[in-house]
């Protein structure tokens, strides 16, 4: 069939072109149709290499499909579809085009069969997504977008260098298992790590995502980090270091999330927390763990998208997103409230919601492989994510004290997009077999046994009880207008200030040295001129013309004499 040759990124890039030149309903219909048609097409594509050609001495494979990439391919189509519906009301060609290009780049990256193609899409992801941040058109978003772009491009450059080393070491660019031996392995690992928001490389995410547009953040939350998770799952399964990095990622962001005021930034922190679960799964590397990581990525795209959509709806309708400014919105935004609670229940992994059926696989794998402390950390993180994403987000936005804002539910297209996501969250939670059948391995895992359901429900309800108790005791930190320092303080504050201080010292020393030199030089000149005052000075004597002529002829004679030796 001729259709088989079309790589999934192509329809999206063509869609971006069409979106750039069309307007109104025509554009809307085409944009909605593209993920549907492309998704159906992908469904019929068999596994295998569908496109390859030789480039210099290397085999490039721009389109390779296997179970792992298919899984991400499907969810990216779903995410693009939901995101496009969510942004149908937007009249901003820049955003529409950027979103289509961005979704296409994500798809290109997960179907890339070699490191060079991966690099191309890796950079495209950065360059297309940054426009979704700049489209907010504020000073803050411009600066945040710049920082985002610099870090993302840095990740790409490291990936390219790593790929070149890899080609030199192994004689091939094929993107398969890489592992941490050799400099190439480490470089590529760091490149993936930056995009995956590893600790201390995570601030591009919490910095930029909350500054993006209402609809832009929904797209952003779906692709970049999941491409990184996919890449780690392909290149570094079973790398033990990932277990510890992932566990750190699950735990530290929840502290920041609890005290953060901007609710979309809270979600950005919880995005890192969820990616942490996936990274742990990849690090453990057993069939069950990889399945858990991949399926959790699949679910996370949907429920995190749903949460970002509900908070986007709040921002869109009220113009505010800080927890301290919101509250009581359930009164006039009941549909958004319910949809948000569905998302919150999913991310918290309540039984019958999507997070439960995937996160539990990672946890079970951790216990099975004897990672006791890691398991305890994950359990703590599960309670914590419920605390900040499951309770804090809906509570401070829709309940808490009445802010007096009486905004209505958002436009129908936004509600429709959120509803689709919510239905998927519940459907996957209730009927996980459909999801499991797509997974790379067949493990026969069943999340719904009495032990497990009871344990998780107990954990969550008593976390909620802790929230209630803390609130009643007035120990819960109130939402405050504030900025919380994180690692980005190092490069946003410390480094600039330190550089400024250093340079001001250098300049001061430089100035002093010049001054000293100039004054000494002046003294010297004065001394010389004093020495030569009047006609008696060494340099102010007069000479006869005749002696000048004599010396010139002496010099010329010396030249003549020397020239005999050079022959």
Residues that bind other proteins (CB under 8 A): 139-140, 143, 254-256, 258-259, 324-325, 330-331, 364, 367-368, 372, 375, 379-380, 383-384, 387, 399, 401, 403, 449-451, 454-470, 474-486, 492-493, 496
In the bound complex, what is the minimum distance in angstroms from residue 506's beta carbon to other proteins? 20
Contact by Cβ (8 Å): 184, 165: yes
Q: Name residues whose C-beta falls within 8 Å of residue 341's C-beta, 6 or more positions apart in sequence.
A: 394
Report the SS3 class of residue 518.
Answer: helix
Helix or strand run (H / E) with residue 472: helix 450-472
Contact by Cβ (8 Å): 161, 168: no
Contact by Cβ (8 Å): 65, 45: yes
Contact by Cβ (8 Å): 116, 55: yes
Q: Cβ closer to other proteins: 30 or 258?
A: 258
Q: Cβ closer to other proteins: 179 or 328?
A: 328
Q: Cβ closer to other proteins: 343 or 384?
A: 384
Q: What's the rounded Cα separation, in Å, for the pair 39 and 16?
A: 16
Q: Name residues whose C-beta falls within 8 Å of residue 325's C-beta, 6 or more positions apart in sequence.
A: 318, 403, 405
Q: Cβ closer to other proteins: 427 or 454?
A: 454
Q: The tokens 């919150």 sit on which residue?
A: 344
Q: Cβ closer to other proteins: 9 or 252?
A: 252
Q: Cβ closer to other proteins: 139 or 536?
A: 139
Angle (nearest 5°) at CA 485 between 479 and 487: 135
In the bound complex, what is the minimum distance in angstroms from residue 538's beta carbon to other proteins? 56
- Tell me the H-state helices in 236-331: 240-259, 263-284, 287-318
Largest pairwise CA distance in the chain: 120
Two tokens, residue 504: 């001001």
In the bound complex, what is the minimum distance in angstroms from residue 470's beta carbon to other proteins? 6
Q: What's the rounded Cα separation, in Å, for the pair 189 and 451?
A: 38
Q: What's the rounded Cα separation, in Å, for the pair 419 and 451?
A: 31
In the bound complex, what is the minimum distance in angstroms from residue 497's beta carbon to other proteins? 8
Q: Cβ closer to other proteins: 6 or 379?
A: 379
Two tokens, residue 171: 């004689």
Q: What's the rounded Cα separation, in Å, for the pair 389 and 395?
A: 10
Nearest to 306 by CA among 214, 367, 218, 236: 218
In the bound complex, what is the minimum distance in angstroms from residue 467's beta carbon to other proteins? 7
DSSP code for 322: B
In the bound complex, what is the minimum distance in angstroms from residue 171's beta carbon to other proteins? 44
Contact by Cβ (8 Å): 108, 125: no
In the bound complex, what is the minimum distance in angstroms from residue 309's beta carbon to other proteins? 24
In the bound complex, what is the minimum distance in angstroms from residue 259's beta carbon to other proteins? 5
Q: Cβ closer to other proteins: 324 or 413?
A: 324
In the bound complex, what is the minimum distance in angstroms from residue 330's beta carbon to other proteins? 7
Q: Cβ closer to other proteins: 458 or 515?
A: 458
Q: What's the rounded Cα separation, in Å, for the pair 351 and 426?
A: 10
Q: Cβ closer to other proteins: 184 or 357?
A: 357
In the bound complex, what is the minimum distance in angstroms from residue 416's beta carbon to other proteins? 25
- Tell me the H-state helices in 53-195: 67-86, 93-110, 115-134, 139-170, 183-195
Q: What's the rounded Cα separation, in Å, for the pair 346 and 335?
A: 17
Q: Cβ closer to other proteins: 114 or 486?
A: 486
In the bound complex, what is the minimum distance in angstroms from residue 479's beta carbon to other proteins? 8
Q: Cβ closer to other proteins: 23 or 401?
A: 401
Q: The tokens 């779906």 sit on which residue?
A: 222
In the bound complex, what is the minimum distance in angstroms from residue 345's beta carbon to other proteins? 14
Q: Cβ closer to other proteins: 434 or 470?
A: 470
In the bound complex, what is the minimum distance in angstroms from residue 408's beta carbon to other proteins? 14
Q: What's the rounded Cα separation, in Å, for the pair 504 and 468?
A: 53
Q: What's the rounded Cα separation, in Å, for the pair 488 and 200?
A: 8
Ramachandran angles phi, psi of 259, nearest 5°: -100, 0
Helix or strand run (H / E) with residue 477: none
Q: Name residues whose C-beta falls within 8 Å of residue 401's C-beta, 6 or more positions apart in sequence.
A: 327, 328
Q: Cβ closer to other proteins: 282 or 460?
A: 460
In the bound complex, what is the minimum distance in angstroms from residue 484's beta carbon to other proteins? 5
């Amino acid at each position: 069939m001729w259709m088989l040759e079309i790589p999934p990124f192509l329809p999206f890039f063509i869609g971006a072109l069409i979106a750039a030149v069309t307007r109104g309903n025509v554009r809307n219909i085409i944009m909605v149709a593209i993920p549907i048609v492309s998704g159906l097409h992908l469904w019929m594509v068999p596994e295998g290499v569908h496109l390859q050609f030789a480039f210099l001495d290397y085999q490039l494979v721009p389109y390779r499909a296997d179970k792992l990439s298919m899984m991400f391919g499907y969810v990216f189509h779903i995410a693009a579809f939901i995101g496009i519906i969510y942004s149908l009301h937007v009249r901003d060609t820049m955003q529409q085009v950027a979103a289509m290009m961005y979704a296409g780049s994500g798809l290109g990256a997960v179907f890339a069969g070699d490191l060079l193609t991966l690099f191309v899409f890796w950079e495209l992801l950065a360059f297309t997504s940054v426009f979704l941040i700049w489209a907010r058109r504020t000073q803050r978003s411009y600066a945040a977008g710049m920082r985002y772009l610099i870090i993302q491009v840095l990740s790409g450059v490291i990936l390219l260098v790593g790929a070149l080393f890899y080609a030199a070491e192994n004689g091939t660019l094929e993107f398969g298992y890489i592992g941490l031996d050799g400099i190439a392995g480490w470089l590529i690992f760091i490149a993936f790590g930056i995009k995956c928001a590893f600790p201390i490389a995570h601030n591009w995410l919490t910095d930029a995502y909350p500054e993006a547009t209402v609809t832009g953040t929904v797209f952003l939350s779906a692709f970049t980090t999941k491409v990184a998770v996919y890449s780690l799952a392909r290149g570094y399964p079973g790398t033990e270091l990932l277990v510890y990095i992932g566990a750190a990622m699950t735990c530290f962001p929840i502290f920041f999330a609890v005290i953060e005021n901007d609710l979309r930034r809270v979600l950005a922190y919880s995005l890192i927390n969820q990616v942490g679960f996936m990274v742990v799964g990849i690090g453990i590397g057993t069939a069950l763990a990889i399945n858990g990581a991949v399926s959790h990525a699949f679910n996370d795209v949907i429920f995190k998208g749903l949460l970002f959509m509900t908070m986007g709806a709040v921002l869109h309708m009220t113009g505010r997103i800080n927890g301290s400014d919101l509250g009581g919105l359930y009164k006039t935004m009941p549909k958004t409230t319910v949809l948000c609670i569905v998302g919150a229940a999913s991310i918290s992994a309540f039984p019958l919601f999507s997070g439960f059926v995937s996160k539990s696989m990672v946890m079970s794998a951790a216990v099975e492989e004897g990672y006791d402390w890691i398991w305890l950390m994950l359990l703590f993180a599960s309670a914590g994510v419920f605390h900040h994403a499951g309770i804090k987000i809906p509570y401070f936005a829709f309940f808490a004290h009445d802010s007096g804002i009486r905004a209505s539910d958002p436009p129908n297209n936004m509600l429709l997009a959120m509803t689709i996501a919510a239905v998927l969250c519940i459907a996957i939670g209730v009927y996980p077999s459909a999801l499991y059948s797509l997974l790379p391995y067949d493990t026969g895992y069943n999340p719904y046994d009495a032990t497990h359901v009871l344990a998780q429900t107990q954990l969550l309800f008593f976390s909620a009880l802790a929230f209630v108790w803390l609130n009643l005791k007035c120990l819960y930190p109130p939402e405050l207008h504030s900025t919380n320092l994180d690692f980005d303080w190092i490069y946003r504050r410390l480094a600039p200030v330190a550089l400024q201080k250093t340079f001001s010292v250098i300049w001061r020393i430089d100035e002093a040295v010049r001054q000293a030199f100039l004054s000494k030089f002046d003294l010297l000149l004065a001394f010389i001129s004093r020495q030569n005052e009047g006609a008696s000075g060494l340099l102010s004597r007069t000479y006869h013309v005749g002696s000048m002529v004599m010396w010139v002829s002496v010099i010329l004679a010396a030249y003549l004499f020397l020239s005999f030796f050079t022959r």
